Structure 1
Amino acid sequence: MDVSPKRIYHTLRQFQTLAEIERESVEFTSLSLAERVWYWRRGFLSRSAVLYDFERYGHEDYLTDYQRYIKTRGINGRFGYALDNKLMLYGLLSRFSARLPDLYGIVDGGTFRSISIAGERGPTRPAIEWAADLEAGETAVVKWVIGGGGHSVLLLTRTDGGYRVNGDRISRTELRERFAAMDDYIVTGFSQQAEYADTIYSEATNTVRAVTMWDTERDEPFLARAVHRIGTDETKPMDNWSQGALGALIDPGTGELGEAVTYPDDGERRWRTDHPDTGTRIEGVEIPGWESIREGLLDVADSIPYLPYVGWDLVVTGRGEFEIIEANNYPGMKSLQVHGPLCADERVERFYRDHGVR
């Protein structure tokens, strides 16, 4: 058991995070104190009473909030840092460069340093000059090298008349100021989603969150769960589920989408078969070439056995094709388990037990 000062520090920080989330949950649910204590004693925050269907499934097969925040963080050990750092991810998966968006460079303090996954280096110059060289209509992704959840992500588009950031017009002066305030941001190409995702909702990039785990008995990775996040007018151009996007469970065998659910920020889960803004059908839609996507992702996971637990964010770009836009060291559970308990799957339960989580 790791009892190093660093490990103790991070554990205490995670307990602090749990306490902060619980404070925020006071207005999220109408539970009495006795009811809250019941959930706390079983490892759940109060919000889980709304997020998860305990009446239908019970509570034993859910990964608890305590287990997620305190115990899963250490599954990948010291190697997990490679997933937390978006630039290091390119080196980690260099063999699968076709599965990654193009890497353009780094923005730091208003300066753009050109780099590539092949190790080639271009000129260093003011970031505003690099932006001016983008072709009209071209979009680049500018995001902080650490962090997830769609935070600190800018979709920069060059227009005939200037620039847009996350869909909003911005002047050259304003963009220069934004660049000057950036500290360690990477710049990549934009992953264009496939037609089926564009048809459901075109004003956001609708991503797949897929979690892979390592089966020690078979010595191979497996897909534990996958959900399709779908943006809305409330979240565009992002698809952050906790900010108002939809989440649909993906059938692991067929790639068919189930009903979509919204984050219950008002204390109630709402399920939909279609998109609230476009009216386009969601339930029953099949991701084209899903089997190839699933097997392609497992090939990537198989190449890094020292990272047995990964939450992948994918953009399906065509039939059987995808790009990995992010990987997560200890993925969140809300958008996954709102569709049912993860540990009802014997392989998932065994994985967590093998790693001291359950």
Structure 2
Amino acid sequence: MGWISPRRLNRLGMLNMNRRNVDFIARYNERSAYPLVDNKLKTKLAVAEYGVKTPKLLQVVQQQHEISHFREMAEDLGGFAIKPAKGSGGKGITVITGRDQDNYVKASGARIGSTELQRHLTNILAGLYSLAGTPDVAIVESLVESSPALAKYSYQGVPDIRIVVFRGYPVMAMLRLATKASDGKANLHQGAIGVGLDIGTGRSLNAVQFNRPVTLHPDTGLAIENIRIEAWDQMLEMASRCYEATGLGYMGVDLVVDANEGPLLLELNARPGLAIQMANGRGLLPRLRTIEDLKRPHFTPQDRAEYAMESFTTS
């Protein structure tokens, strides 16, 4: 995997935060669409109408008195995920992978009791993790079982795929792999690995951790240079379909590959970060300008995905 310096990246069309905010987010994202993507529950309901699958919704906890119903519902579940509907950056998400008598087992292997889980739900309702500190609701989803082909590269946490979608076209993608440093979360700022993906094939390109090049996963020891995402064309079409579902012109689409269900949407982001460029070893700007310059845009998600695969492949 070749490494490209930040200075050269700038020459290659590196999109900076100011230009992203002014030329793309402010220009192409209607403010009225933000509540839809800033709320995971609203996102799930909206994308379902456009044939985009998400993890199964098991329960919505909206009021304090409903927490007791959660305990009853969770009795027969081996695993599940609790998420604040309006949380961001993975804050407040608790993933339970199994049971140990009266305790719940987290992805890290730590054990917690039902009292601690109920306290966590109370904190979510109080808005502890919401974007503006406003009251929130908790959603309980089925546990994502990562495809074994990808899971082996990640440390404890489920690897996910971020695709930047512009005017309905998938323009850049990366795989995020959890590490010990990131505490099993696929968060680049905490130390997860970002692996650039070729839009044309779903194959891995460059890989970075804390914006520095890596070729091996620090915890699994596996080489990162020969990864290929299964059902890649399906994932690109799903990401493209989110444009119709939300009307957002510039967004990040986060997907996972479930071992049983295939590609699933985790969440949408109206203000996707820019580290995806470092992972890919190239800037976003040329691809965004290519889409802006299209004389005849494609009307279907499938056509837009196919155009992106042909236009932005690096192989």
Give TM class, smaller chain.
0.7 to 0.9
Map 1:196-275 to 2 at 5 A.
196-201=149-154, 203-214=156-167, 221-264=168-211, 269=212, 271-275=213-217
Name the SS for the 1:175 alignment partner.
helix
Q: 2:98, 2:62 → 1: CA distance?
A: 20
Query: 1:334 is matched with which residue?
Result: 275
Q: Match of 2:283, as an amino acid?
A: P
User: Where in structure 2 are there 5+ consecutive unaligned residues?
Assistant: 126-136, 294-315
Please identify, of 83-92 and 312-321, the stretch whose mean Cα deviation from structure 2 is larger: 312-321
Name the SS for the 2:245 alignment partner.
coil
- Note if contact 1:213-1:308 (Cα within 8 Å) is conserved in structure 2: yes
The structural deviation recorded for 1:344 is: 2.5
The structural deviation recorded for 1:321 is: 3.0
1:14-37 Cα deviation digits (max 9, x unpaired): xxxxxxxxxxxxxxxxxxxxxxxx
Please identify, of 155-164 and 81-90, the stretch whose mean Cα deviation from structure 2 is larger: 155-164
Query: 2:91 is matched with which residue?
Result: 151
Check if 1:130 corresponds to 2:73: yes
The structural deviation recorded for 1:60 is: 7.6
Name the SS for the 1:297 alignment partner.
helix
- Note if contact 1:230-1:247 (Cα within 8 Å) is conserved in structure 2: yes
Give the structure, 1 or 2, with the largest relative contact order (CA under 8 Å, sep 6 or more): 2
Distance 1:337 1:234, change over 3 A: closer
Distance 1:68 1:58, change over 3 A: closer
- Note if contact 1:293-1:321 (Cα within 8 Å) is conserved in structure 2: no
Check if 1:68 corresponds to 2:9: no
Q: 2:175, 2:6 → 1: CA distance?
A: 23
Q: Match of 1:246, as an amino acid?
A: I
Distance 1:90 1:245, change over 3 A: same
Counterpart among 39, 43, 47 of residue 93 in structure 1: 47
- Note if contact 2:156-2:178 (Cα within 8 Å) is conserved in structure 1: yes
Check if 1:309 corresponds to 2:250: yes
Check if 1:323 corresponds to 2:277: no
Distance 1:96 1:189, change over 3 A: farther
The structural deviation recorded for 1:263 is: 1.4
Check if 1:171 corresponds to 2:125: no
The structural deviation recorded for 1:319 is: 9.7
- Note if contact 2:158-2:186 (Cα within 8 Å) is conserved in structure 1: yes
Check if 1:142 corresponds to 2:82: yes
Query: 2:122 is matched with which residue?
Result: 180
Distance 1:346 1:179, change over 3 A: closer
Map 1:36-55 to 2 at 5 A.
53-55=5-7
Q: Match of 2:85, as an amino acid?
A: V
1:143-198 Cα deviation digits (max 9, x unpaired): 11113221111113440321134432112332232233321221111221112111
Name the SS for the 1:128 alignment partner.
helix
Query: 1:102 is matched with which residue?
Result: 56
Check if 1:287 corresponds to 2:229: yes
Distance 1:112 1:155, change over 3 A: farther
Name the SS for the 2:59 alignment partner.
strand
Larger radius of gyration: 1
Query: 1:33 is matched with which residue?
Result: none
Please identify, of 86-95 and 248-257, the stretch whose mean Cα deviation from structure 2 is larger: 86-95
The structural deviation recorded for 1:202 is: 5.2
Name the SS for the 2:89 alignment partner.
coil
Give the RMSD, CA atoms, in angstroms.
Answer: 2.6
Distance 1:185 1:305, change over 3 A: closer
Distance 1:111 1:222, change over 3 A: same
After TM superposition, the score normalised by the length of structure 1 is 0.69
Distance 1:348 1:313, change over 3 A: farther
Distance 1:318 1:128, change over 3 A: closer
Name the SS for the 1:293 alignment partner.
helix
- Note if contact 2:166-2:288 (Cα within 8 Å) is conserved in structure 1: no
Counterpart among 83, 100, 107 of residue 160 in structure 1: 100
